[in-house]
Structure 1
């Protein structure tokens, strides 16, 4: 059943607010609108790219009736905290995921992700967690935000690497959903993230090309801790 239908079935409608992420998934916000409710955007956790439970609680009002949690890039959201939040405030918590893949394909993607983790320099590799399926291998290109990330992406494509910007514009910046809200982690992720290929079809030579192309650019050194 679709998101709009699930919301309607739960009694969500006109006058209600539904908390959703602004980082990607325009279809989720559109589904809330189709149900007659108002989508309210909360910030993300920079490790998971999913809704931050603390940010969700911060934007709740007396009209909040539901939260739609979207798992991103194969990394699950903090469901225990989000469901506890839902129970405490008597909210419906819906989970929406990305396209499922087979066990074998997930295992191969994890193998390719581990290869990149061990060899990439100058970009911030994904945060590791149990259950990460690496539907996308998303790195951060530190520096001056979008200009540096976009220049890095163009240079990789010129070297034959099929990289992609996962979220070009956060939803709260789109004309149909424009909101005057502060979502620093969402903004930063939209400006810095880049998806590198980890498809199961890629050969070792393909992966070497990805690493060589990234490292040849030099990148920006990660800060010392």
Structure 2
């Protein structure tokens, strides 16, 4: 965003059902994140909500490919083209995901991937930026290295955001394993789709390739307290790990608190629960997860 010139007074439309980093990126550039609602089935940004939020100050859209399911990039890019907006893809959880056959990170001006240890692949720490032009790539390189390409030839005010060679080496090895790991995640997800009962399993659009950073179900109609009780039962009674991503919508965090009506976001924040889907699951692990979820769901029915 800094490489393209985002700054004070600029608005970027973002979903609120995401991690705070999505909005942080806009704010640290001096811009203003404008929060909109999401699709209740795929958890990704709602194109109709984007169109309704555009103002004369809007300069960009930042869709999030949440949990590994790509946002509807054809519709988003069409909106951006109509209004002359940038598109920044938050692909932190979506390494290898595709929309209509095209890799996420290739649709907009820039695509950002996380390499944090919990992601589908890691370098130990750090991330990657896919750039839609050579000029943007050069600006990103300048910004990550104190504003210089050649030593002591500083061109802009930059940062010390270089990845170490050791971390890069880890990432290169992990990249070679990503396709196989993704296939295993998808197989695990298919097993859960077939056998889980009493919860709403993830929806995958026909145009999408889901890479299942998280396998996220919904406890339909549950309050946050009821969902949390479901999670506690899985952990304490059945020793099945699970997590909630994300219990507090970003527009309700202290850093971004704003009064905006996002009913789908509020509903999902109360209902979602992510189950283990990582490629190290054994057949026995998968069966244990299914048995636990079905037992807890039946008990609460």
* TM-score using structure 2 length: 0.69
The structure-2 alpha-carbon separation of the partners of 1:220 and 1:84, relative to structure 1 and needing over 3 Å to count, comes to: farther
Return 5+ residue gaps in structure 1 as ranges: 1-6
Quote the Cα distance in structure 1 between the aligned partners of 2:43 and 2:299.
22
Establish whether residue 136 from structure 1 lines up as the match of residue 130 from structure 2: no
What residue is the counterpart of 1:215 in the other structure? 294
* CA contact 2:60–2:85 (8 Å) conserved in 1: yes
Return 5+ residue gaps in structure 2 as ranges: 96-119, 121-177
* CA contact 2:18–2:64 (8 Å) conserved in 1: no
State the Cα deviation string for residues 83-119 of structure 1 (Å, max 9, x = none).
0000001111111212434111111111111111111
Please state whether the residue corresponding to 1:9 is helix, strand or coil: coil
Please state whether the residue corresponding to 1:44 is helix, strand or coil: coil
Establish whether residue 192 from structure 1 lines up as the match of residue 271 from structure 2: yes
What residue is the counterpart of 2:135 in the other structure? none
Please state whether the residue corresponding to 2:35 is helix, strand or coil: strand
What residue is the counterpart of 1:60 in the other structure? 54
* CA contact 1:46–1:185 (8 Å) conserved in 2: yes
Any residues of structure 2 matched to 1:1-225 within 5 Å, and which?
7-99=1-93, 100=95, 101=120, 102-129=178-205, 130-158=208-236, 159-217=238-296, 218=298
CA drift of 1:219 comes to: 5.8
Please state whether the residue corresponding to 1:94 is helix, strand or coil: strand
Quote the Cα distance in structure 2 between the aligned partners of 1:56 and 1:65.
12
Q: Comparing 200-209 with 22-31, which one deviates more in the overlay?
A: 22-31
Please state whether the residue corresponding to 1:73 is helix, strand or coil: helix
Bigger Rg, which one:
2
What residue is the counterpart of 1:3 in the other structure? none
Q: Comparing 149-158 with 96-105, which one deviates more in the overlay?
A: 96-105
* TM-score using structure 1 length: 0.91
CA drift of 1:28 comes to: 2.0
CA drift of 1:33 comes to: 1.0
| 4+ long deviations beyond 6 Å | none
* CA contact 1:143–1:220 (8 Å) conserved in 2: no
CA drift of 1:220 comes to: 6.0
* CA contact 1:121–1:219 (8 Å) conserved in 2: no
* CA contact 2:42–2:204 (8 Å) conserved in 1: no
State the superposition RMSD in angstroms: 1.3
The structure-2 alpha-carbon separation of the partners of 1:219 and 1:85, relative to structure 1 and needing over 3 Å to count, comes to: farther
Quote the Cα distance in structure 2 between the aligned partners of 1:79 and 1:109.
23
Quote the Cα distance in structure 2 between the aligned partners of 1:220 and 1:20.
35
CA drift of 1:206 comes to: 0.6
